[in-house]
Structure 1
Amino acid sequence: MCLAVFSWQPQSQYPLTVVANRDEFRARPTQAMHWWSNEILAGKDLQAGGTWLGLNRQNKFALLTNIRPGYIGMKRELSRGELVTKFLSSECSIETFHESITPKINDYAGFNLLLCDGKRLFWFSSTNPSGRFLNPGIYGLSNDALDTPWPKLNEAKQQLHDQLPKVQNTLTAHSVLCSTEPAPKEQLPNTGVPIEWEAKLSSQCILGEEYGTRCRSHIVQDATGLTRVCEQQIDLNGNITHTNQWAF
């Protein structure tokens, strides 16, 4: 998962609203979102076995992004994708899970991890291992720390702010995270990749044959406990090729 924007309003009709794009090499084998045998709803990375975003029937939610600055080309013993599935398949509280990961955080390449138990939302990362519970608000997460003001992330937060009722009511009839426009050259971040890749990665929806945005996930949890989820598969030209939806 490489770009996510989310509204956390725990005392409202819709406590959690998420729109997230997964960017990946197109050759990397992947299974679309589905119910796993251990009752996790998630896509699956068939190369490493983990996932980038998932939920379970107990209102747990987790989302992972990698971190580029300082971690380009860095290999580690453990796969980051297992962090999501470990949290969702455990009965641990957020605090207990976080405490279990912190001592071995450097066994994983750079990551951000969001953890939700239906009542609280927590963020921690390789560069901010102590993390914090999040106050109500709209947040953005890409491949650096929470709310790092990259152009595509700032735009995403404004999009969600402007279209929040539409997202909550229809899941997909909106333009959040759909822009294919790269950022102006003078606004590109310096994350350690060549400038042509910085430009390519600066759009919300990344196009291209080798690497790009492969799916978009939409999640809305309401105050009654109902969770609605939609995943759209996206081709190399940014077109939606397939849509699946769930409610539980």
Structure 2
Amino acid sequence: MCVVALAHRVHPDWPLILIGNRDEFHARPAAPLHKWEDGSGIVAGRDLQAGGTWLGVHHPGGRVVVVTNVRGAMPDPDKESRGALVSDLLRGSGRFSDPSAEDLPRFNAFNLFAVDGNTARLLTNRPVPLIMPLEPGVHALANEPVDAPCPRAERLRRAVEAVVTSGRNPESLLDTLTAEDDPALFLRGDQYGTRCSTLVLRDRQGRYRITERRFHAGGVANGETNIEIDRDKSVR
């Protein structure tokens, strides 16, 4: 996931809005959004190369986590998997389910939003390891260190803020992510580009709606998955 915005406890109907594009090499294998069959309670796509995920929801725990990489450093294959960090945070168990700032340098460069109920945190290891609580508001991340300007993240943050301010239905944000006249958000490369656009919504009754739109090389549509998690935590 390379650009993402989080509206945390500011929309009148949707206390959580998470929207983002995952940019990746098209040849890297991945499974679409689904309920994992390993008993973990994770609903997410899956990176079939490393085994983790870039964005997901946990039920019945209600945790939501998303990660981006950070440009500027060559990945170290001996580092821990960022996707495994997301999976542990979602499950609430595992080596990195409750990481400290001292744990963060064990991963290649990343930015991450983690939401658990009414609390949200930013985790990053660029420019320095940091775990910071987030106040209610609209927050955005992309592939830049958190202390650096990022026009791409700011573009998406403004789009989400406009929806929040107007009280509009946030489902229109998926069209914003894939607009042909806005190449800053949607990458249409043949080798590397946007693989999927994902929208996670939680309403005031605690119900979730998750939509994932997937794309082939060149930005060609490759399917859509919609999942709902009810108050009783059933998934359909």
- Say yes or no: TM over 0.5: yes
SS in 1 for 2:86: helix
What is the root-mean-square deviation of aligned Cα atoms in Å? 2.4
Q: Which has the higher strand share?
A: 2
The answer to whether the aligner puts 1:9 opposite 2:12 as a matched pair is: no
Structure-1 residue corresponding to 2:55 = 53
Q: 2:203 aligned to 219, 222, 242, which one?
A: 222
- Are 1:114 and 1:122, in contact at CA under 8 Å, matched by a contact in 2? yes
Go from structure 1 to structure 2 and tell me whether the alpha carbon gap of 1:243 and 1:114 turns closer, same or farther (over 3 Å shift): same
**Cα deviation code 1:116-141 (max 9, x no counterpart):** 11110000101242321111111111
Which residue matches 2:74? Answer: 72
Counterpart for residue 186 of structure 1:
none
What is the deviation of 1:166? 4.0
Partner of 1:103, secondary structure, is helix
Return the letter of the residue paired with 1:89. Answer: R
CA contact (8 A) 2:111 2:125 kept: yes
Q: Is the 8 A contact 2:43 2:58 kept in 1?
A: yes
Quick one: which amino acid aligns to residue 19 of structure 1? I
8 Å contact from structure 1 (residues 141, 147) kept in 2: no
> SS state of the match for residue 212, structure 2?
strand
Q: How many residues align?
A: 222
2:65 is aligned with 1:62: yes
Q: Which runs of 5+ in 1 are unaligned?
A: 183-201
Say if 2:124 is the partner of 1:132: no
Q: Which residue of 1 aligns with 2:99?
A: 98
Amino acid in the other structure paired with 1:97: D
C-alpha change, 1:62 and 1:174, in structure 2 (3 Å) is closer
Find out whether 1:42 has 2:44 as its counterpart.
yes
Whole-Å separation in 2 of the counterparts to 1:241 and 1:149: 32
Q: Give the conservation status (yes or no) of the 8 Å contact 1:116–1:122.
A: yes
Percent identity, aligned pairs only, is 28
1:206 aligns with 2:187: yes
Q: Which amino acid aligns with 2:210?
A: V
Q: Does the residue aligned with 2:98 lie in a helix, a strand or coil? A: helix
Query: What TM-score, normalized by structure 1, do the two folds share?
Result: 0.81
CA contact (8 A) 2:20 2:199 kept: yes
Letter matched to residue 236 of structure 1: A
Contact 1:4 1:142 in 2 (8 A): yes
Q: How many angstroms apart in 1 are the aligned matches of 2:12 and 2:189?
A: 39
The residue correspondences of 1:233-248 to structure 2 (distance < 5 A) are 233-248=214-229
Distance change (3 Å), C-alpha of 1:167 and 1:52 = farther
Counterpart CA distance in 2 for 1:113 and 1:89 is 16
State the 1:65 CA deviation.
0.6
The DSSP-based 3-state class of the residue aligned with 1:97 is coil
C-alpha distance after superposition, 1:3-54 (max 9, x if no partner): 1012111684311101110000011011111101222001111110000001
Q: Deviations over 1:93-124 (max 9, x none)?
A: x9x7132xx33322210011211111100001
Residue of 200, 206, 212 corresponding to 1:231: 212
Tell me, in whole angstroms, the C-alpha distance in 2 between the residues paired with 1:40 and 1:158.
30
> CA separation of 1:75/1:236 partners in 2, compared to 1, >3 Å: closer, same or farther?
same
Matched letter for residue 76 of structure 1:
D
What corresponds to 2:114 in structure 1? Answer: 115
